[in-house]
């Protein structure tokens, strides 16, 4: 390269750039197919964005942006077989020809998306004008051109204002529960309650340097953490709170032998989801009669008792999944070998996982094992072809020498140990 003249060097740089853009067009074509067929869910991920974060080491916001671009550039086939036509067909052709940049694609996508109240022919005209201008303008200049000129041509009046909006109370909450148990809610709070709400969420939604979650996802996770905190038993700070009590009125044999993807009879849960819930659940032993009437109900108990839970918290400190920094108080106790399949409820078979990574471990091909009290996670080959085990470095190693350095004269007596256990309090050793 050092032998090339400046003009030839820039010409070659531009040629490589256009080749990259053509590759991007192919990338969006493949991504559209991956998202359309639900490949991420089949591989154990909740959505395509979560799959991209792990396979390509990009942020959640960038993953969502790429998915939105792929959807706009390509026809999408819905699960019912219907085809949703691409909203930016002309932009897709220009990208495939290497004549428009990815940044310009994003500007055009957002601008055209803001015209959903405009007639289809005007939307097509807006895309045509923006694509023509893209040959001369960088993304920032193209965005200004769209707002200052194109919008005046295709949408001179703008969106009609809503003058009939009714008076709303200061506090309201609307929620809708879907058939699969998920909830969607919307509401508003008065200024005082809003300040309290923000103060409660703030410690949980801080963004770290390597955080792959977007703003909305961090807020959702923080809200779930606050709910989990509110449900915790105040006398057992290391206990994971009171679990939702779920009764699976099927035989234990059927639950243990069913394949993960099979929907259990009489429920909307798959066997895999039921086994995940049973990892750290509130078990209600019951004997059912032939007509499904309960004949005897025993005292409910946690799968992971409090004293084992305390040891688990002291060892793992928080979610053990690589890169996760969610605290122990909102984590589940995961059985590495399921207790439904005979795995013991012991520290050597347990690991702390937050709800997100607990679901991932049960649904995907990630594997976990303990080595010297440290949890090592092996990713699937599509995340890392070498399948190199990973660990979480967010938590400092426990002070293994604490008990060895404890002075015998400072150790609690047997009666004190028993009293502390009866009160559900951790045992403190003076150093």
Digit-coded pLDDT (tens) for 138-189: 898 899 899 888 998 998 877 665 555 444 457 788 888 888 888 888 888 8
Query: For residue 344, what pLDDT is reported?
Result: 85
- Tens digits of per-residue pLDDT, 249-300? 555 566 555 555 555 555 556 656 666 666 665 555 565 565 555 555 554 5
E-strand ranges in 306-387 read 331-335, 350-354, 367-371, 374-378
The proportion of the chain whose per-residue pLDDT surpasses 70, expressed as a percent, equals 70
Pick from 84-88, 186-190, 208-212, 307-311: least confident: 208-212
Statement: residue 191 has pLDDT above 60: yes
Query: For residue 406, what pLDDT is reported?
Result: 36
Pick from 65-69, 202-206, 353-357, 408-412: least confident: 408-412
What rounded mean pLDDT belongs to the chain?
Answer: 77
Q: How confident is the model at residue 417 (pLDDT cuts 50, 70, 90)?
A: very low
The 10 Å Cβ neighbour count of residue 283 is: 17
Reading the block at residue 365, the tokens are 């091909």
Query: For residue 387, what pLDDT is reported?
Result: 92
Give me the residues paired with residue 297 across strands: 286
Question: Cβ distance 233 to 211 under 8 Å?
Answer: no
Query: For residue 409, what pLDDT is reported?
Result: 38
Q: What is the dihedral of CA 59, 63, 66, 72, to 10 degrees?
A: -140
- Tens digits of per-residue pLDDT, 338-371? 876 778 888 899 999 988 888 889 888 999 999 9
From 282, 248, 284, 273, select the one nearest 358 (Cα to Cα).
273
- Among 70-74, 77-81, 398-402, name the most confident range: 70-74
Query: For residue 274, what pLDDT is reported?
Result: 62
């Amino acid at each position: 390269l050092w032998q090339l003249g400046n003009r030839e060097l820039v010409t070659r740089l531009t040629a490589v750039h256009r080749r990259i853009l053509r590759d991007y067009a192919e990338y969006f074509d493949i991504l559209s197919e991956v998202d359309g067929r639900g490949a991420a869910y089949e591989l154990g991920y909740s959505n395509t964005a979560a799959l991209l974060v792990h396979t390509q080491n990009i942020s959640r916001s960038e993953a969502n942006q790429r998915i939105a671009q792929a959807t706009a550039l390509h026809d999408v086939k819905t699960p019912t077989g219907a085809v949703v036509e691409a909203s930016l067909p002309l932009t897709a052709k220009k990208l495939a020809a290497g004549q428009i940049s990815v940044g310009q694609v994003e500007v055009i996508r957002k601008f055209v998306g803001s015209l959903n109240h405009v007639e289809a022919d005007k939307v097509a005209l807006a895309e045509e004008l923006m694509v023509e201008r893209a040959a001369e303008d960088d993304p920032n200049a193209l965005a200004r051109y769209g707002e200052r000129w194109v919008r005046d041509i295709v949408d001179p009046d703008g969106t009609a204002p809503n003058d009939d909006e009714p008076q709303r109370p200061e506090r309201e909450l609307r929620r809708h529960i879907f058939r699969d148990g998920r909830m969607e809610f919307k509401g508003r709070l008065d200024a005082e309650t809003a300040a309290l709400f923000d103060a409660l969420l703030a410690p949980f939604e801080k963004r770290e340097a390597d955080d792959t979650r977007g703003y909305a996802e961090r807020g959702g996770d923080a809200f779930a953490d606050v709910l989990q905190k509110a449900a915790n038993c105040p006398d057992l700070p290391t206990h994971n709170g009171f679990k939702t009590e779920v009764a699976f009125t099927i035989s234990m044999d059927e639950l243990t032998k069913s394949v993960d993807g099979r929907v259990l009879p009489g429920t909307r849960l798959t066997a895999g989801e039921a086994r995940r819930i049973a990892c750290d659940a509130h078990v209600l032993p019951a004997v059912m009669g032939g007509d499904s009437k309960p004949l005897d109900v025993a005292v409910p108990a946690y799968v992971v008792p409090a004293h084992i839970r305390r040891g688990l918290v002291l060892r793992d400190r928080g979610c053990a999944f690589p890169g996760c920094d969610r605290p122990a108080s909102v984590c589940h106790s995961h059985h590495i070998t399921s207790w439904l399949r005979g795995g013991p409820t012991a520290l050597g078979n347990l690991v702390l996982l937050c709800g997100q990574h607990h679901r991932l471990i049960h649904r995907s091909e990630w594997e976990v094992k303990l080595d010297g009290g440290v949890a090592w996670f092996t990713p699937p080959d599509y995340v890392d072809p070498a399948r190199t085990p990973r660990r979480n470095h967010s938590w400092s190693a426990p002070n293994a020498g604490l008990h060895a350095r404890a002075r015998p004269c400072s150790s609690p007596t047997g009666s004190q140990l028993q009293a502390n256990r009866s009160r559900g309090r951790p045992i403190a050793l003076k150093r």
